[in-house]
């Protein structure tokens, strides 16, 4: 159902089972999947693809041109995955040619009020962004990560799978998977043990991750030395391998 006061461009493609609330504006070259609800006063700019069963609340602005001096008006896109919830006043900007041309929010994400997802960011599945979480450009957030309220993440930073970033943190380096980080310049505070248990990680896996974490971050050796020790002393279950691979592939450096 499309409210009588909504403005939907004739070149937008909406499934018959999409609801659009009062005074919302949906421009050309927008695609919206079945079961999605667009609340009142939402603006969806061109080149946005929204999956099925999403819910976008009032005053969200999706697909605006990026806040980047390198952007020259080229075509770029926003993709929002199935089942994502976008609350009040969220802003999500299109990608840039420099960054690959795509900003993508994964399936079943939960973006609380005033979250900002800047150009060329990619988020995984089931990511939670608390109120006023702010992503600069070119950020990658892994599956099942949680970003606390008032968190600001520097451009090109990566957040690993199942990581938890505490509220009011400034993140300037990569956050490894499975850990908790927080602080004015974020520092690590151990494994995200509570979250990992909620997601069904076994006690054996938690013990191995804890051992690897201690070697890497707590005994005062270099990262290269720590990686060698972990490879030699810790059983190489997939989670330990993921942790090491994430650290080895970091370009910005690892939060410690």
What sign results for the dihedral spanned by CA atoms 93, 96, 98, 101? positive
- The arrangement of strands across the sheet holding 91-93 comes to 7-8, 25-26, 43-44, 61-64, 91-93, 116-117, 134-135, 152-153, 170-171
CA angle 200, 203, 206 (to 5 degrees): 90
- Catalytic residue, candidates 83, 119, 138, 160: 119
Place of tokens 């957030």: 141
**116 catalytically annotated:** no
Burial 125-147 (b: 16+ CB within 10 A, else e): bbbbbbbbbbbbbbbbbbbbbbb
Select which of 21, 39, 137, 160 is catalytic: 137
For residue 214, what are the contacts with CB-CB under 8 A and spacing of at least 6? Answer: none
Tokens of 234: 């810790």
Catalytic residue chosen out of the listed positions 120, 138, 142, 166: 120
**Residue 119 appears among annotated catalytic residues:** yes
Cα 230 to Cα 216: distance, rounded to the nearest angstrom: 8
Instruction: Please confirm, yes or no, whether 93 is among the known catalytic residues.
Output: no
Residues carrying an active site annotation: 119-120, 137
């Amino acid at each position: 159902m499309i409210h009588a006061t909504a403005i939907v461009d004739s070149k937008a493609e909406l499934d018959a089972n999409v609801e659009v609330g009062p005074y919302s504006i949906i421009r050309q070259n927008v695609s919206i999947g079945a079961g999605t609800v667009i609340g009142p006063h939402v603006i969806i700019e061109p080149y946005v693809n929204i999956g099925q069963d999403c819910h976008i609340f009032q005053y969200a602005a999706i697909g605006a041109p990026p806040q980047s001096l390198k952007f020259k008006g080229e075509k770029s896109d926003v993709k929002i995955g199935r089942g994502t919830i976008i609350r009040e006043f969220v802003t999500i900007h299109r990608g840039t040619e420099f960054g690959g041309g795509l900003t993508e929010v994964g399936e079943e994400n939960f973006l609380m009020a005033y979250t900002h997802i800047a150009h060329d960011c990619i988020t995984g599945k089931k990511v939670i962004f608390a109120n006023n979480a702010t992503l600069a450009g070119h950020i990658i957030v892994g599956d099942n990560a949680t970003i606390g309220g008032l968190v600001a993440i520097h451009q090109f930073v990566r957040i690993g799978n199942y990581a938890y970033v505490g509220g009011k943190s400034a993140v300037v380096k990569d956050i490894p998977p499975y850990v908790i980080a927080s602080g004015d310049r974020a520092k690590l505070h151990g494994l995200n043990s509570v979250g990992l248990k909620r997601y069904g990680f076994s006690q054996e896996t938690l013990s191995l991750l804890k051992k690897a974490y201690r070697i890497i971050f707590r005994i005062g050796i270099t990262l290269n030395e720590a990686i060698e020790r972990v490879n030699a002393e810790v059983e190489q279950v997939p989670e330990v391998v993921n942790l090491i691979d994430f650290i080895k592939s970091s370009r910005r450096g690892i939060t410690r």
